[in-house]
């Protein structure tokens, strides 16, 4: 039989489609492998456990199915250190072949794995707040739906100066990248609005006794603490035990909602700024809080909410790609284009560098029905990582550090 050239081409295309279609179907029907870098040991474990709980709560609501893809979760404990984060990231990517990673928790962990993530073109939605990865060193495979280290502290500094009317503040935070960037953000806006940072204290991340640092808190009219994990509990107790009465403000971790059941009355009056607050009066947040309390008997805080929202971003990104995550560049583009109006933290979207823009909440610790609560007293909407600063001018100065901005005479 004589076969015409056009007929042969049609037969070849048909055969090719027959092979490609099942491969595509197999890719879409295979489980979507989701990796989680969290912390279950050490001083950051309290937040890491909530990260896993927030992830599991979202997946349970969705019957472990996102955009039509069944999800297989791989959870890894980094131990809260850079080497552990690197090892676990390698295992998730090279052994488990995950499609996307959530986490890690700490800025120093994120800094340890960002180059590896970029080189392996693995999408990463991190809770960790290392500023420069969405500023001067953007990673094309990195997206942040939580906040930079300084993002909550910018409005906190503004509020401390303009509404708490503080003039001279001493800062205290762990001697880590997250700590440097938090207090850099606080100092920048606090001083812009007329305040002055008198001294900066840097205890190690593992500090059982804050007394040597608390003894240096004098000749000021307020304190800003940015401690993370379970460290705020010891700080607040020891602060009260020494009879210190200066007003205290904090960032997203220093007054976390999940810590409230462990605080005593010494925490009353603590002012904090966070991208999530458990008292947000929306249906999405009420449902989230209810599910966390039902599943784990805990009030969710920033760590749990951050991972829950990250899962929502993953689902929305997968929906945009019709469930496909194999084309990493297309998948990342879809994730970066996500805009959500109904999350537990309120509406979010992303800037051109892959960092979230959303609401930040000023809360005060009060007592209601015999329990400590964070009551929202002010909302800053559409807060970007650059606050109200000009982006170009902001990026021209160094990343916030131990020495930047420098201390100046008050």
What's the pLDDT score for residue 27?
A: 53
What percent of the chain has pLDDT above 70?
A: 93
Are the CB atoms for 318 and 62 separated by under 8 Å?
A: no
Q: How far apart are CA 217 and CA 269, in angstroms?
A: 18
Q: What is the pLDDT of residues 302-334, one digit of tens each?
A: 999 999 999 999 999 999 999 999 999 999 999
Are the CB atoms for 233 and 180 separated by under 8 Å?
A: no
Mean pLDDT, the chain, integer: 93
What's the pLDDT score for residue 197?
A: 98
Beta-sheet pairing, 168-172 with 196-201: parallel
What's the pLDDT score for residue 229?
A: 87
Q: What is the pLDDT of residues 97-139, one digit of tens each?
A: 999 999 999 999 999 999 999 999 999 999 998 999 999 999 9
Q: How far apart are CA 261 and CA 298, in angstroms?
A: 9
Q: How far apart are CA 370 and CA 354, in angstroms?
A: 42
What's the pLDDT score for residue 45?
A: 92
Would you give the DSSP letter of residue 327?
S
Q: What is the pLDDT of residues 21-71, one digit of tens each?
A: 444 444 557 999 999 999 998 888 989 999 999 999 999 999 999 999 999
What's the pLDDT score for residue 285?
A: 98
Section 284-311 average pLDDT: 97
Residue 20 has pLDDT above 80, yes or no: no
Q: What is the pTM for the complete model shown?
A: 0.90
222 SS3 class: strand
Residue 14 has pLDDT above 80, yes or no: no
The contacts of residue 12 (CB under 8 Å, 6+ apart) are none
Q: What is the pLDDT of residues 134-182, one digit of tens each?
A: 999 999 999 999 999 999 999 999 999 999 999 999 999 999 999 999 9
What's the pLDDT score for residue 8?
A: 39
Residue 137 tokens, joined:
């060193």
Q: Which of 18-27, 87-96, 273-282, 356-365 has the lowest mean pLDDT?
A: 18-27
pLDDT class for 12, splitting at 50, 70, 90? very low
Q: How far apart are CA 325 and CA 337, in angstroms?
A: 15
Q: Which of 10-19, 110-119, 282-291 has the lowest mean pLDDT?
A: 10-19
The contacts of residue 65 (CB under 8 Å, 6+ apart) are 71
Q: How far apart are CA 224 and CA 246, in angstroms?
A: 10
What's the pLDDT score for residue 42?
A: 86
Are the CB atoms for 78 and 91 separated by under 8 Å?
A: no
């Amino acid at each position: 039989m004589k076969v015409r050239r056009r007929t042969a081409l049609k037969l070849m295309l048909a055969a090719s489609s027959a092979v490609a279609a099942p491969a595509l179907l197999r890719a879409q029907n295979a489980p979507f492998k989701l990796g989680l870098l969290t912390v279950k040991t050490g001083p950051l474990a309290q937040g890491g456990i909530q990260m896993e709980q927030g992830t599991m709560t979202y997946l349970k609501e969705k019957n472990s199915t996102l955009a039509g893809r069944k999800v297989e979760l791989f959870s890894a404990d980094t131990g809260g250190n850079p080497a552990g984060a690197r090892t676990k990231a390698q295992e998730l990517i090279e052994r488990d072949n995950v499609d996307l990673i959530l986490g890690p928790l700490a800025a120093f962990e994120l800094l340890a794995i960002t180059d590896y993530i970029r080189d392996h073109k693995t999408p990463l939605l991190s809770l960790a707040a290392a500023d420069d990865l969405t500023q001067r060193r953007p990673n094309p495979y990195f997206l942040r739906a939580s906040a930079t280290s300084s993002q909550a502290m910018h409005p906190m500094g503004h509020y401390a100066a303009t509404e708490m009317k503080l003039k001279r503040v001493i800062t205290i935070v762990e001697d880590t990248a997250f700590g440097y960037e938090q207090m850099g953000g606080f100092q920048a806006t606090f001083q812009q609005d007329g305040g002055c940072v008198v001294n900066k204290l840097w205890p190690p991340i593992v500090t059982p006794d804050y007394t040597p640092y608390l003894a240096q808190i004098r000749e000021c009219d307020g304190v800003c603490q940015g401690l993370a994990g379970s460290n705020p509990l010891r700080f607040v107790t020891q602060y009260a035990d020494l009879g210190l009465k200066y007003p205290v403000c904090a960032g997203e971790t220093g007054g976390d909602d999940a810590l409230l059941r462990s605080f005593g009355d010494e925490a009353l009056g603590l002012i904090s700024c966070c991208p999530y607050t458990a008292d947000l009066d929306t249906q999405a947040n009420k449902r989230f809080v209810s599910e966390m309390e039902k599943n784990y008997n805990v009030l969710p805080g920033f760590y749990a909410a951050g991972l829950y929202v990250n899962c929502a971003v993953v689902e929305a990104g997968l929906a945009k790609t019709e469930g496909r995550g194999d084309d990493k560049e297309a998948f990342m583009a879809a994730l970066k284009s996500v805009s959500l109006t109904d999350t537990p933290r309120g509406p979010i979207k992303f800037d051109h560098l892959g960092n979230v823009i959303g609401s930040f909440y000023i809360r005060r610790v009060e007592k209601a029905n015999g329990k400590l609560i964070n009551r929202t007293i002010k909302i800053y909407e559409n807060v970007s990582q650059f606050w109200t600063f000009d982006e170009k001018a902001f990026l021209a100065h160094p990343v916030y550090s131990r020495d930047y901005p420098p201390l100046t005479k008050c």
